[in-house]
Amino acid sequence: MKKAFIFDLDGVIVDTAKYHFLAWQNLANSLGISFSSAQNEQLKGVSRVRSLEKILEWGNKTISEEEFTTLMTKKNEEYLVYISKMDTSEILPDVPRVLDSLISKEQAIALGSASKNARVILDKVQLTDKFQAIVDGTNVSKAKPDPEVFLIGAKELGISPENCVVFEDSVAGIQAANRANMISIGIGDPKVLHEADYIFSDFTEIKEEFINNLVSAKKV
Protein backbone atom coordinates (compact mmCIF):
# COMPACT_ATOMS: atom_id res chain seq x y z
CA MET A 1 0.00 0.00 0.00
CA LYS A 2 1.29 3.45 -0.89
CA LYS A 3 0.73 6.31 1.51
CA ALA A 4 1.96 9.88 1.47
CA PHE A 5 3.89 11.22 4.46
CA ILE A 6 3.91 15.00 4.68
CA PHE A 7 6.43 16.67 6.97
CA ASP A 8 6.27 20.17 8.35
CA LEU A 9 9.77 21.70 8.43
CA ASP A 10 10.27 24.17 11.29
CA GLY A 11 10.09 22.29 14.61
CA VAL A 12 9.71 18.89 12.95
CA ILE A 13 12.82 18.41 10.80
CA VAL A 14 14.93 21.23 12.25
CA ASP A 15 14.68 23.48 15.29
CA THR A 16 14.62 26.85 13.56
CA ALA A 17 12.33 28.42 16.19
CA LYS A 18 15.48 29.59 18.02
CA TYR A 19 16.58 31.58 14.95
CA HIS A 20 13.10 33.03 14.36
CA PHE A 21 13.20 34.04 18.04
CA LEU A 22 16.56 35.86 17.76
CA ALA A 23 15.48 37.74 14.64
CA TRP A 24 12.00 38.67 15.93
CA GLN A 25 13.45 39.67 19.31
CA ASN A 26 15.99 42.06 17.76
CA LEU A 27 13.28 43.56 15.62
CA ALA A 28 10.80 43.92 18.51
CA ASN A 29 13.47 45.47 20.75
CA SER A 30 14.38 47.97 18.03
CA LEU A 31 10.74 49.09 18.19
CA GLY A 32 10.80 49.27 22.00
CA ILE A 33 8.63 46.15 22.31
CA SER A 34 9.67 43.36 24.67
CA PHE A 35 9.43 39.86 23.24
CA SER A 36 9.68 36.70 25.33
CA SER A 37 10.32 33.06 24.41
CA ALA A 38 6.74 32.32 25.55
CA GLN A 39 5.50 34.78 22.91
CA ASN A 40 7.80 33.12 20.38
CA GLU A 41 6.00 29.83 21.13
CA GLN A 42 2.78 31.47 19.93
CA LEU A 43 4.40 32.23 16.56
CA LYS A 44 5.11 28.58 15.74
CA GLY A 45 3.45 27.69 12.44
CA VAL A 46 2.29 31.30 12.04
CA SER A 47 3.09 33.11 8.77
CA ARG A 48 5.70 35.87 8.60
CA VAL A 49 3.06 38.58 8.05
CA ARG A 50 0.84 37.37 10.88
CA SER A 51 3.87 37.06 13.20
CA LEU A 52 4.76 40.73 12.76
CA GLU A 53 1.10 41.73 13.16
CA LYS A 54 0.99 39.86 16.48
CA ILE A 55 4.23 41.44 17.76
CA LEU A 56 2.88 44.90 16.91
CA GLU A 57 -0.40 44.05 18.68
CA TRP A 58 1.50 42.89 21.80
CA GLY A 59 3.47 46.16 21.77
CA ASN A 60 0.36 48.27 21.04
CA LYS A 61 2.12 49.75 18.05
CA THR A 62 0.75 50.94 14.71
CA ILE A 63 3.07 51.44 11.74
CA SER A 64 2.68 52.38 8.08
CA GLU A 65 2.35 49.71 5.37
CA GLU A 66 5.73 50.78 4.05
CA GLU A 67 7.45 50.34 7.39
CA PHE A 68 5.72 46.97 7.80
CA THR A 69 7.27 45.76 4.53
CA THR A 70 10.70 47.13 5.51
CA LEU A 71 10.56 45.36 8.89
CA MET A 72 9.53 42.03 7.32
CA THR A 73 12.52 42.24 4.97
CA LYS A 74 14.84 43.19 7.83
CA LYS A 75 13.67 40.27 9.96
CA ASN A 76 14.11 37.81 7.12
CA GLU A 77 17.57 39.11 6.25
CA GLU A 78 18.72 38.50 9.82
CA TYR A 79 17.02 35.08 9.89
CA LEU A 80 18.82 34.12 6.68
CA VAL A 81 22.20 34.92 8.27
CA TYR A 82 21.48 32.27 10.95
CA ILE A 83 20.18 29.84 8.32
CA SER A 84 23.30 30.27 6.19
CA LYS A 85 25.33 28.69 9.02
CA MET A 86 23.12 25.58 9.32
CA ASP A 87 24.41 22.11 8.51
CA THR A 88 23.34 18.46 8.88
CA SER A 89 24.06 18.54 12.63
CA GLU A 90 20.86 20.58 13.05
CA ILE A 91 18.55 17.83 11.81
CA LEU A 92 16.40 16.76 14.77
CA PRO A 93 17.12 13.28 16.22
CA ASP A 94 15.96 10.25 14.18
CA VAL A 95 14.37 12.30 11.38
CA PRO A 96 16.73 10.67 8.81
CA ARG A 97 15.94 7.21 10.21
CA VAL A 98 12.18 7.73 9.76
CA LEU A 99 12.61 9.28 6.29
CA ASP A 100 14.86 6.41 5.17
CA SER A 101 12.48 3.82 6.60
CA LEU A 102 9.59 5.33 4.60
CA ILE A 103 11.70 5.50 1.46
CA SER A 104 12.72 1.84 1.87
CA LYS A 105 8.99 0.99 2.05
CA GLU A 106 8.45 2.95 -1.19
CA GLN A 107 6.18 5.51 0.46
CA ALA A 108 5.70 8.99 -1.00
CA ILE A 109 7.21 11.90 0.93
CA ALA A 110 6.39 15.61 0.77
CA LEU A 111 7.24 18.76 2.66
CA GLY A 112 4.32 20.95 3.79
CA SER A 113 5.69 24.14 5.33
CA ALA A 114 4.52 27.73 5.80
CA SER A 115 8.08 28.98 5.32
CA LYS A 116 9.24 30.81 2.23
CA ASN A 117 12.77 29.73 3.21
CA ALA A 118 11.99 26.00 3.20
CA ARG A 119 14.05 25.08 0.13
CA VAL A 120 17.15 26.87 1.33
CA ILE A 121 16.92 25.17 4.74
CA LEU A 122 16.43 21.70 3.22
CA ASP A 123 19.48 22.32 1.03
CA LYS A 124 21.58 23.42 4.00
CA VAL A 125 20.77 20.23 5.92
CA GLN A 126 21.11 18.16 2.74
CA LEU A 127 17.65 16.59 2.85
CA THR A 128 16.16 17.98 -0.38
CA ASP A 129 16.63 14.68 -2.24
CA LYS A 130 14.38 12.81 0.20
CA PHE A 131 11.26 14.76 -0.88
CA GLN A 132 9.23 14.03 -3.99
CA ALA A 133 7.18 17.19 -3.52
CA ILE A 134 7.98 20.42 -1.72
CA VAL A 135 5.07 22.71 -0.86
CA ASP A 136 6.04 25.84 1.05
CA GLY A 137 5.11 29.45 1.74
CA THR A 138 5.74 30.33 -1.89
CA ASN A 139 3.00 27.93 -3.12
CA VAL A 140 0.11 28.62 -0.77
CA SER A 141 -2.38 31.46 -0.44
CA LYS A 142 -4.02 30.33 2.81
CA ALA A 143 -2.09 29.79 6.05
CA LYS A 144 -2.50 26.78 8.38
CA PRO A 145 -5.02 25.88 9.93
CA ASP A 146 -6.32 26.01 6.37
CA PRO A 147 -5.55 22.59 4.85
CA GLU A 148 -4.35 24.05 1.51
CA VAL A 149 -0.63 23.31 2.00
CA PHE A 150 -1.24 19.61 2.73
CA LEU A 151 -3.90 19.19 0.04
CA ILE A 152 -1.50 20.57 -2.58
CA GLY A 153 1.16 18.14 -1.32
CA ALA A 154 -1.24 15.18 -1.61
CA LYS A 155 -2.27 16.28 -5.09
CA GLU A 156 1.34 16.62 -6.25
CA LEU A 157 2.05 13.09 -5.01
CA GLY A 158 -1.19 11.72 -6.52
CA ILE A 159 -2.37 10.29 -3.17
CA SER A 160 -5.87 10.87 -1.75
CA PRO A 161 -6.03 12.84 1.55
CA GLU A 162 -7.26 9.88 3.64
CA ASN A 163 -4.07 8.06 2.66
CA CYS A 164 -1.85 10.88 3.89
CA VAL A 165 -0.05 11.17 7.22
CA VAL A 166 1.13 14.58 8.48
CA PHE A 167 3.92 15.26 11.00
CA GLU A 168 3.43 18.65 12.70
CA ASP A 169 4.65 20.55 15.77
CA SER A 170 2.09 23.38 15.75
CA VAL A 171 -1.56 23.45 16.78
CA ALA A 172 -2.50 25.21 13.52
CA GLY A 173 -0.69 22.49 11.55
CA ILE A 174 -2.49 19.66 13.36
CA GLN A 175 -5.81 21.41 12.73
CA ALA A 176 -4.89 21.79 9.04
CA ALA A 177 -4.10 18.06 8.77
CA ASN A 178 -7.36 17.12 10.51
CA ARG A 179 -9.35 19.46 8.24
CA ALA A 180 -7.69 17.81 5.25
CA ASN A 181 -8.95 14.44 6.59
CA MET A 182 -5.39 13.19 6.97
CA ILE A 183 -3.84 11.23 9.86
CA SER A 184 -2.20 13.82 12.12
CA ILE A 185 0.90 13.13 14.18
CA GLY A 186 1.94 15.76 16.70
CA ILE A 187 5.64 16.15 17.48
CA GLY A 188 5.92 17.93 20.82
CA ASP A 189 3.93 18.47 23.99
CA PRO A 190 0.72 16.35 24.33
CA LYS A 191 -0.94 19.14 26.32
CA VAL A 192 -0.50 21.50 23.37
CA LEU A 193 -1.08 19.04 20.51
CA HIS A 194 -4.02 17.10 21.99
CA GLU A 195 -6.05 17.40 18.76
CA ALA A 196 -3.57 15.11 16.95
CA ASP A 197 -4.39 11.46 16.20
CA TYR A 198 -1.01 10.44 17.70
CA ILE A 199 1.56 12.43 19.68
CA PHE A 200 5.28 11.85 20.24
CA SER A 201 7.79 14.11 21.94
CA ASP A 202 10.24 13.51 19.09
CA PHE A 203 11.07 11.02 16.31
CA THR A 204 13.20 8.80 18.60
CA GLU A 205 9.86 7.61 20.04
CA ILE A 206 8.56 6.55 16.64
CA LYS A 207 9.39 2.86 16.30
CA GLU A 208 9.51 0.72 13.18
CA GLU A 209 6.35 -1.16 14.17
CA PHE A 210 4.40 2.11 14.37
CA ILE A 211 5.64 3.13 10.91
CA ASN A 212 4.55 -0.27 9.54
CA ASN A 213 1.11 0.17 11.09
CA LEU A 214 0.80 3.66 9.61
CA VAL A 215 1.61 2.37 6.15
CA SER A 216 -1.38 0.03 6.39
CA ALA A 217 -3.69 2.26 8.53
CA LYS A 218 -6.86 4.09 7.51
CA LYS A 219 -8.14 7.36 8.97
CA VAL A 220 -11.32 6.59 10.93
Sheet holding 183-187, edge to edge: 133-135, 108-112, 4-7, 164-168, 183-187, 198-200
Q: Which of 6, 14, 43, 172 binds ligand BG6 (CB under 6 A)?
A: 43
3-class secondary-structure state, position 125: coil
By CB under 6 A, tell whether 25 contacts ligand BG6.
no
184 binds, among ligand BG6, Mg ion, none (CB under 5 to 8 A by kind): none
CA-CA-CA-CA torsion for 77, 109, 88, 100, nearest 10 degrees? Answer: 180
Longest dimension (CA), the chain: 55
Q: What is the dihedral of CA 114, 16, 12, 205, to 10 degrees?
A: -170
- Minimum CB distance to ligand BG6, residue 1 (Å): 29
Shorter beta-carbon distance to Mg ion: residue 33 or 99: 99
Residue 45 Cβ vs Mg ion, minimum distance, rounded to whole Å: 5
46 binds ligand BG6 (CB under 6 A): yes
Among 107, 115, 163, 184, binds ligand BG6 (CB under 6 A): 115
Taking residue 105's Cβ as centre, other Cβ atoms within 10 Å add up to 15
Q: Would you give the DSSP letter of residue 94? A: T
Position 169 contacts Mg ion (CB under 5 A): yes
Task: Rule CB under 6 A: choose which of 6, 48, 99, 157 binds ligand BG6.
Answer: 48
CA–CA gap between residue 13 and residue 127 (Å, rounded): 9
47 binds ligand BG6 (CB under 6 A): yes
Q: Distance between CA 173 and CA 154 in Å, rounded? A: 15
Q: What minimum distance in Å lies between the beta carbon of 170 and ligand BG6? A: 6
User: Which positions touch Mg ion (CB under 5 A)?
Assistant: 8, 10-11, 45, 169-170
User: Which positions touch ligand BG6 (CB under 6 A)?
Assistant: 9-11, 20, 43-48, 51, 76, 113-117, 137
Catalytic residues: 8, 10
